[in-house]
Amino acid sequence: MLRFIYFCCLFALVACGDSKKDERVPPIIVITSPDNPPFEFKDTSKGGDKVIGFDIDVVHKLGEKLGRKIKIIEGEFSTIIPALQSGRADMAIAGLTGTDERRKTIDLSNPYYTDKIALLVSEESVIGSEKDLSGQKLGVQLGSTHEVMGKKWRSINENINLITLNKGGDLIQELKNGRIDAVLIGLSEAKKIAASTIGIKAVALEVQGESFVIAFPKGSPLVKPTNEALGTMIEDIQQYAQKWMNK
What domains lie within the chain, and their CATH numbers?
Answer: 20-114+211-245 (3.40.190.10), 117-208 (3.40.190.10)
Q: What secondary structure does DSSP assign to 151-173, as a single string?
A: HHHHHH-TT-EEEEES-HHHHHH
Residues contacting residue 217 through CB under 8 Å, at least 6 positions apart: 84, 85, 87, 90, 106, 107
Q: Using an 8 Å Cβ cutoff, are 120 and 201 in contact?
A: yes
Tens digits of residue pLDDT in 21-46: 456 889 999 999 998 889 999 987 76
Half-sphere exposure (Cβ direction) of 179: Cα atoms closer than 13 Å: 9
pLDDT band at residue 123 under the 50/70/90 scheme: very high
pLDDT of 209 reads: 84
> Nearest to residue 138, comparing CAs of 151, 128, 126?
151
Report residue 111: phi and psi, to 5°.
-60, 145
Tens digits of residue pLDDT in 150-202: 999 999 999 999 999 988 889 999 999 999 999 999 998 899 899 989 999 99
Report residue 95: phi and psi, to 5°.
65, 35
- Residue 16 pLDDT exceeds 70: no
Tens digits of residue pLDDT in 201-243: 999 998 888 899 999 999 999 999 999 999 999 999 999 999 9
Burial class (CB in 10 A: 0-12, 13-18, 19+), 181: buried
CA distance 118 to 189: 9
pLDDT of 14 reads: 42
Tens digits of residue pLDDT in 61-78: 999 999 999 999 999 999
